[in-house]
Amino acid sequence: MGRDDGGGGNRSYGRKKFKRSRAHFADRITADGRDGWPVEAGRYRLVVSRACPWASRALVSRRLLGLEDALSLAVTDPLQDDRSWRFTLDPDGRDPVLGIRYLSEAYDRRETDYPGGVSVPAVVDVESGALVTNDYQQITLDLATEWAALHREGAPDLYPRARRDEIDALAEDVFQDVNNGVYRAGFATDQEEYEAACTALFRRLELLAGRLERQRYLVGDTITEADIRLFTTLVRFDAVYHGHFKCNRWKLTENRVLWAYARDLYQTPGFGDTVDFDHIKRHYYQVHTGINPSGIVPLGPDLSGWTAPHHRAELGGRPFGDGTPPGPVRAGEEVPAPGRP
């Protein structure tokens, strides 16, 4: 692979402090099309790696909102090569809709020689083959709001207007200390930086566990954007962050509240059925050669506990509010699922 830049939007490795770059293409796909990209069924393709926590937010949202028909999906190989994300899982190594071998080709069609990396999630305009946005913080918010006309019947409100300030504030803390905190710990290049990130991470997780002790979801009594953002880090915790990123004060399975909360979400249609632990493990351990030079992928942990009863329904809560769970995963998008019935 020859990559040791963190593969996580990490623009400074070596001796410099870990710093996540900002998304470079921040056009928005909106109902009124004000950036030139109107919401339209079949017009765009969502490109993800199932290994990537930022891309996985969009995978969960798309399922919960029932946008599978409106927004098609391309899944990259979990292992980037020196030209980054590639479609080697598809016949002839080409995405069948975009006809490209590398995601970088869609970036190039949008702008040549731009300074950023090629990152997922990416939304591509199918007709022109050009990248529209790789703004992972905004994509899911827009799927929840701007794409409403194309939501399935019974779709939940993942970003309820009355709760947005609370969701945004929580998401910011979770981003700093948890979503990005694990990367800051994992790619720290000195002891002090590592300890600061690791300490803040576990302090935040303990605060979140306190909040979730008596309430089923993070905000209100339904699943929201805030839960999606926490879930995508928690589901990777023991498989990669605990070992590979040295976030090892405790394992997720050792925190009674967070482990039950994560299992509850995992077992909710739209969450666990998007998770591919094989992609997750191979990506992190094989791509980050700077912190795992041997590229050896550990055999553990035992994943069978993800389907164990969680008893969180006893806390009440209405997962989908007045809506309903999504239907089955569409053909061709199933993931192998150790431990899932």
User: Which DSSP state fits 123?
Assistant: E
Using left for φ > 0, alpha for ψ between -120 and 50, and beta otherwise, residue 172 falls in alpha
Element (H, E) at 125: strand 122-125
When binding is defined by CB under 6 A, the residue of 43, 58, 95, 119 that contacts ligand GSH is 119
CA distance 240 to 297: 10
Minimum CB separation of residue 58 from ligand GSH in Å reads 11
Q: Which residues have C-beta within 8 Å of that of residue 282, sequence separation ≥ 6? A: 51, 78, 79, 297
Which of residues 29, 39, 47, 52 is near ligand GSH by CB under 6 A? 52
From the list 4-12, 150-158, 207-215, 248-256, the region that binds ligand GSH by CB under 6 A is 4-12
CA–CA separation, 253 and 235 (whole Å): 11
Using CB under 6 A as the binding rule, whether residue 323 contacts ligand GSH is answered as no
Binding mask 258-277 for ligand GSH (x = CB under 6 A): --------------------
Number of neighbouring beta carbons within 10 Å of residue 122: 29
Contact between 8 and ligand GSH (CB under 6 A)?
yes
Q: Which range in 6-14, 208-216, 235-243, 310-318 contacts ligand GSH by CB under 6 A?
A: 6-14
- State in angstroms the smallest separation of the CB of 164 from ligand GSH: 22
Cβ 244 vs Cβ 285: under 8 Å: yes
Residue 54 lies near ligand GSH (rule: CB under 6 A): yes
Active site residues: 52, 183
Contacts with ligand GSH, residue ranges (CB under 6 A): 7-9, 20-21, 23, 52, 54, 117-120, 134, 136
